[in-house]
Amino acid sequence: MSVSLKGAAIIGQSGGPTSVINASAYGVIRTALDDPNITKVYGAAHGIRGVLDDVLYDMGQEDAKELELLLNTPSSALGSCRYKLKDSNADDTDYKRILEIFKKYDVRYFFYNGGNDSMDTCNKISKYMQKVGYECRIMGVPKTIDNDLWGTDHCPGYGSAARYVATTCMEIYQDARVYDTGMLCVVEIMGRHAGWLTAASSLATAMGCGPDLIYLPERVFDLDAFKADVKRVYSASGKCIVAVSEGIHDKDGKLIAEYGSANAAVDAFGHKQLGGLAATLAGVLLAEGYPKVRPIEFSLLQRCAAHCASQTDVQEAFAAGKAAVECAVSGITDKMVGFERGQDENGNYTCSIKLMELTDVANAEKKIPDEWINAEGNGLLPAFQAYALPLIQGQPERPTENGLPRFARLKKVQAR
Amino acid sequence: MSVSLKGAAIIGQSGGPTSVINASAYGVIRTALDDPNITKVYGAAHGIRGVLDDVLYDMGQEDAKELELLLNTPSSALGSCRYKLKDSNADDTDYKRILEIFKKYDVRYFFYNGGNDSMDTCNKISKYMQKVGYECRIMGVPKTIDNDLWGTDHCPGYGSAARYVATTCMEIYQDARVYDTGMLCVVEIMGRHAGWLTAASSLATAMGCGPDLIYLPERVFDLDAFKADVKRVYSASGKCIVAVSEGIHDKDGKLIAEYGSANAAVDAFGHKQLGGLAATLAGVLLAEGYPKVRPIEFSLLQRCAAHCASQTDVQEAFAAGKAAVECAVSGITDKMVGFERGQDENGNYTCSIKLMELTDVANAEKKIPDEWINAEGNGLLPAFQAYALPLIQGQPERPTENGLPRFARLKKVQAR
């Protein structure tokens, strides 16, 4: 493979968005637009779907100032998808189509910005292009609030979501303890298989105002132990705040969230009631006789609250996108950009770029080390806080208009 | 009544907290501590309950720096209550007890910081003290995210909650439209009788990224009209974001939120499922065949998100507390501090203090003017935005520790 390769680049975003995934996209787009080897920069509409459907936006037509606003614009500005490519040996229809589009636009650089499933897509495309001998440098750019990508110290998107979770839990603590009456609160946080984001609530606890009990999917959730934990805390203070990961499950692997829907709750319209894990556990506690239990679900807020983003995260997300382009132009392909943690001479946190094989990253999952979780399985130990705290630092300077966020407004001029 | 009156002061907080109610408390406490007429400043634990129970904190024992942190500490730092005083003519037990405590601590100033019900409490105490001839200056200091206090242009607490709602709705808009598949979102916002806070979501709409449909308790909610509205929006774009006030009701006055609980949904534990209005309406839409509907409830977050407070609101909340003390010391009593809106020579928003009779304020409610709501009853007109926008301006400089908010830590030394 020659070092110098001229051609167009595609950037696509996929999977659940984050507060800073656009900062990574901006890192890719800005760096690619400025690189003489890259002739055109296309944004794929809704990730790989945009490639398959031939809906590509010409990023060179965008106003530079608007592009820069991507640094503080949450969610995937190019659109996202949850589309799983088949094994190319079983069905190569999609791959042929992707190759056709790559040839049509002379695409020699492909950057895919996402989590586990997206790295699987990226890996499959990379291997297919190698197999058919189409020269194209393919790089994965990580993002996920779940922080569960293998091999990287952490993932862009996690720091901001963790900052949101910790900050909001501190505020909830103030509010949920305000009355002179008993009160319980169950806070549901995203994370199906890994508890990284729920664990971030322990940063609030370490500040003296956070959840009393934290349950992660890394441990089996036992309903009786849960009730006993709550009883102990509530007996002592008349209050109890619980943080739970949406993925907590019993010893048989059954999600606790599914306990609630088993009996097909039906409302006055005859419609099935939606009820999340927090509502389910609140129901459990109400049945135990507690006077007031408030279920709170962070829902989309935890992954789109750019107003509470971590500046460290914004900068690292941008750096990841930038590095992906620089590496690709220098001749590297088939890798995901990751982060390595280090220390400067004063012992302060530093973060540098490292590269991982896409094959290794695709579909692997990183969970919280067991030794960071307390023996009871209802809290985190200081080692976790030491890990997470550097990632949530810094309040971004956000551009505003009318006192509200000014998000990027892209023209999205479709390439022909 | 003499102008000069020496004695102690009590400040109490009651009702649902806000992001800035402590800024008002700080306005009272700081000003009272600095005033030579006021001999002692007591904070009542959990509002009037602290007076009845003789649990008063000596605010003079607090560190000045910690007190100042109240400016950015959400929720009621002294504790709140929802305690309704009986009519003193029917049962004066509580009033006699309050008088006893006032005499015990030589209380000559009483400041009560709260919403409608709190002003009722404040008014009753004021009238009782007048009746029994105990000289005491009694002032109400408003707060409520509901913004429904009569006679004042707006209420401390509303601007911050409105800023949170507008900002968060903008972020949800980015996220909820990210996929290439259909998506609906139902956002439930506090406000039982008045739709002020839900209406704040229209500030996001005015920015080009907010709810498509907004329903307030000021208008009758018709389920068929709702379904037709959603269908129209969804047909055009494949997305629809709805903001609803928790207090929306049908033509018979029945809360829509109660539709969901009528059939006593029961989960696998045999426990009753909790489901809010957003979940109920999401269930309605799912039954209409939409592919994905996400219910989002802002819950406590909208009233405690100090990290998203409006600096205008923080300053005005402080000013209201300060004015209450200054007025009382100058001889005024039996009033609530309110706000009057004005304009400076450049046409910019100004806010000045005005005083209202406690009798007038107690238990009255201010709703959104009908002419600010569109004819269809599913959106707000520009007159509302012109009203609300000045109230949400400015991002406070928040003291932090470990990158997280540094809230006030009061010693709460109990007075004897």
B117: region left, alpha or beta (phi > 0 left; psi from -120 to 50 alpha): alpha
Q: In this structure, which amino acid lies at residue B261?
A: S
d(CA B416, CA B412): 12
- pTM of the predicted model, to two decimals? 0.96
- Tell me the percentage of chain B whose pLDDT exceeds 90: 91
Share of chain A above pLDDT 70, in %: 96
Window A:269-288, CB contacts with B under 8 Å: 269-275, 279-280, 282-284, 286-287
Cβ–Cβ of A301/B46 closer than 8 Å? no
The answer to whether the Cβ–Cβ distance between A267 and B263 falls below 8 Å is yes
Residue A247 half-sphere exposure toward CB, CA atoms < 13 A: 16
Higher-confidence residue of A13 and A276: namely A13
Mean pLDDT value across residues B87-95: 96
Q: Please give the pLDDT value at position B301.
A: 96
Specify the pLDDT at position B261: 55
B265 with A267: Cβ contact below 8 A? yes
Strands B38-44 and B56-58: what pairing?
Answer: antiparallel
B174–A407 CB contact, under 8 Å: yes
Assigned CATH topology for domain B158-304: Rossmann fold (3.40.50)
Distances A152 to A118, A216, B296 between C-alpha atoms, Å: 15, 21, 32
Q: What is the mean pLDDT of residues B93-116?
A: 97
Q: Which amino acid is at B222?
A: D
Question: What pLDDT does B364 receive?
Answer: 83
Does the pLDDT of residue B260 top 70, yes or no? no
Contact A44, A339 (CB under 8 A): no
CB of B237 within 8 Å of any CB in chain A? Answer: no
pLDDT in the model for residue B191: 94
Tell me the CATH number for domain B7-151+306-365+395-405: 3.40.50.450
Q: Which of A133, A134, A123 is nearest to A357 (CA)?
A: A123
Which pLDDT belongs to residue A262? 45
Using CA atoms, how far apart are residues A42 and B223, in angstroms rounded to an integer? Answer: 44
Three-class DSSP category at B340: strand
| Alpha carbons A70 and A412: distance in angstroms, whole number | 13
The pLDDT value recorded for residue B362 is 85
Q: How far is B392 from chain A (nearest CA, A)?
A: 7
* Closest-CA residue of chain A to B22: A174
Question: How far is A250 from A253, CA to CA, in rounded Å?
Answer: 5
More reliable by pLDDT, A258 or A49: A49
Tell me the average pLDDT across A346-365.
94
Local structure of residue B80 (DSSP, 8 states):
B
pLDDT-derived band at B416, boundaries 50, 70, 90? confident
Q: b or e along B382-400 (b: 16 or more beta carbons within 10 Å of the residue's beta carbon)?
A: eebbebbbbbbbbbbebee
Q: Which residue has the tokens 């994370």?
A: A191
Active-site residue identified among A58, A117, A120, A146: A146
Helix B116-132 with B93-104: angle, nearest 10 deg:
70
Q: What is the CA radius of gyration of chain B?
A: 23
Percent of chain A with pLDDT over 90: 91
Q: Say how many residues make up chain A.
A: 416
Residue B274 has a pLDDT of 44
Q: Which stretches of B119-232 are assigned E, i.e. beta strand?
A: 137-142, 183-189, 213-215
CA distance B167 to chain A (A): 6
- The residues pairing with A57 across neighbouring beta strands, listed in sequence order, are A43, A414
- Cα torsion angle, B306, B311, B317, B321, sign: positive
For residues A248-266, average pLDDT: 76
Q: CATH: 3.30.70.330, 2.60.40.10, 3.90.1010.10, 3.40.50.450. Which one for A7-144+306-364+394-405?
A: 3.40.50.450
| CATH match of A158-303 with 3.30.1330.10 | no
Tell me the chain A residues in contact with residue B168 when contact means C-beta distances shorter than 8 Å: 301, 305, 307
The alpha carbon of residue A167 is apart from the nearest alpha carbon of chain B, in Å, by 6
Asked whether the CA dihedral A277, A281, A282, A287 is positive or negative, the reply is positive
CA distances from B396 to A152, B304, B390 (A): 35, 14, 15
Say whether B296 and A296 touch across the interface (CB within 8 A). Answer: no
For chain A positions 205-224, those within 8 Å of chain B (CB to CB) are 206-209
Q: Given B279, B303, B306, which is nearest A275 (Cβ)?
A: B279
* Per-residue pLDDT, A263: 41
Q: Cα torsion at B189, B190, B193, B197 (round to 10°)?
A: -70
What's the complex ipTM? 0.95
Whether A307 contacts chain B with CB within 8 A? yes
Q: Which two tokens stand for residue B393?
A: 């301006």
B245/B248 Cα distance (integer angstroms): 6
Closest partner residue to A170 among B80, B178, B404, by Cβ? B404
Token pair listed for A254: 């059954």
Residue A87 appears among annotated catalytic residues: no
Angstroms from B328 CA to nearest CA on chain A: 27
| Rounded Cα gap, residues B36 and B150, in angstroms | 33
- In this predicted structure, the answer to whether residue B265 has a pLDDT above a threshold of 60 is no
B72, B174, B313, B348, best to mutate vs chain A, most A CBs in 10 Å: B174
Cβ–Cβ contact A252 with B under 8 A: no
Query: What's the confidence (pLDDT) of residue B262?
Result: 44
Q: How confident is the model at residue B275 (pLDDT cuts 50, 70, 90)?
A: low
Contact yes or no for A301 and B304 at CB 8 A? no
Q: Inform me whether the C-beta atom of residue A96 falls under 8 Å from chain B C-beta atoms.
A: no
Which of A216, A192, A191 has the alpha carbon at shortest distance from A202?
A216
Task: Round to whole Å and give the CA distance between A206 and A375.
Answer: 17
Closest to B28 in 3D by CA, of B38, B14, B15, B17: B38
Q: Report the C-alpha gap between A27 and A32 in whole angstroms.
A: 8
CA gap A29, A71 in Å, rounded = 12
CA angle A176, A177, A180 (to 5 degrees): 125
pLDDT for residue A264 is more than 70 = no
Considering only CB atoms, which chain A residues are within 8 Å of B301? 168, 171-172, 296, 301
Q: Do domains B7-151+306-365+395-405 and B158-304 have the same CATH topology?
A: yes
Read off the pLDDT of residues A141-184 as tens digits, 9 standing for 90 and up.
Answer: 999 999 999 999 999 999 999 999 999 999 999 999 999 899 99
Q: How far is CA B374 from CA A334, B218, B274, B380, in A?
A: 55, 12, 33, 6
The answer, yes or no, to whether residue A305 has pLDDT greater than 70, is yes
The domain limits of chain A are 7-144+306-364+394-405, 158-303
